[in-house]
């Protein structure tokens, strides 16, 4: 078996998100999935930036308990007019969020934290997304596909909702759920090999000193 096909986990992922697991797999990182159960309520007067970063850190800390592997926690939220859009509670909620995003620009904040040999390190990315105008019939049809159910902001940019996106400035992978360039730098700084072991720790991906 060569390095690229190695199946042993090199990272613990404190998330049940299949999208984050797939994104990590795309850069050759095999994970052990350990979903966490933390309180994701927003604190009073907490900014969206602080909120998303705090959740990423808490997930990494909760998932790291009892593990010898570095642990990654992440969180992604959609922000419109400083309101945080999480996962839709039901059809009415999903429709309301999508219609509020229609024809407007919003931000997607994605934070990642890695707890490992170098302690807890983190990064956060803000991406601008502009939606074209979406009519109510489209919003209803999109809900019927089932895709919005577990997506922040009620849409998946990598899925059927790609037809709604008019412009993106920033990190596409961050909108999907994990900013890969920033994540790779954090992982290499913690000694996690990328590309199935073909790219070991050290080199330009190191964390700044």
Q: 181-191, pLDDT tens digit by residue?
A: 999 999 999 99
For residue 138, pLDDT over 90 is answered with: yes
Catalytic-role residue among 8, 37, 75, 201: 75
Which residues, listed in sequence order, are joined to residue 116 by a DSSP beta bridge?
A: 119
CA 51, distance to chain mean position in Å, is 14
**Per-residue pLDDT, 200:** 67
pLDDT above 70 covers a percentage of the chain that reads 92
Burial of 199 (0-12, 13-18, 19+ CB in 10 A): middle
Could you give the CA distance from residue 19 to residue 87 in angstroms, rounded to a whole number?
15
For residue 172, pLDDT over 70 is answered with: yes
Q: Which residues have C-beta within 8 Å of that of residue 127, sequence separation ≥ 6? A: 107, 108, 110, 168, 169, 170, 171, 172, 174, 175
How is the chain split into domains, by residue range?
3-197
Average pLDDT, the chain: 90
Handedness of CA 24, 26, 28, 31 (dihedral sign): positive
Residue 150 catalytic?
Answer: no
Q: How does residue 201 score in pLDDT terms, banded at 50, 70 and 90?
A: low
For residue 202, pLDDT over 50 is answered with: yes
User: What is 3-197's CATH number?
Assistant: 3.90.950.10
Q: Which residues have C-beta within 8 Å of that of residue 45, sequence separation ≥ 6? A: none
For residue 76, pLDDT over 60 is answered with: yes
């Amino acid at each position: 078996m060569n390095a690229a096909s190695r199946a042993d986990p090199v990272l613990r992922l404190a998330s049940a998100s299949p999208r984050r697991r797939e994104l990590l797999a795309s850069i050759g990182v095999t994970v052990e999935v350990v979903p966490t159960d933390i309180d994701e309520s927003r604190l009073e007067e907490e900014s969206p930036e602080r909120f998303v970063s705090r959740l990423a850190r808490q997930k990494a800390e909760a998932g790291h308990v009892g593990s010898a592997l570095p642990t990654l926690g992440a969180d992604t939220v959609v922000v419109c007019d400083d309101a945080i859009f999480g996962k839709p509670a039901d059809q009415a909620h999903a429709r309301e969020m999508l219609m509020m995003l229609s024809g407007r620009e919003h931000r997607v904040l994605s934070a990642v934290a890695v707890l490992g040999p170098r302690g807890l390190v983190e990064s956060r990315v803000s991406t601008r997304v502009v939606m074209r105008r979406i009519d109510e019939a489209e919003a209803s049809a999109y809900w019927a596909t089932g895709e919005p159910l577990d997506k922040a902001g009620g849409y998946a940019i990598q899925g059927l909702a790609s037809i709604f996106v008019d412009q993106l400035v920033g990190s596409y992978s961050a909108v999907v759920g994990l900013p890969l360039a920033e994540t790779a730098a954090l992982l290499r700084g913690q000694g996690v090999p990328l590309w199935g072991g073909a790219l070991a720790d050290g080199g330009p991906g190191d964390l700044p000193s």
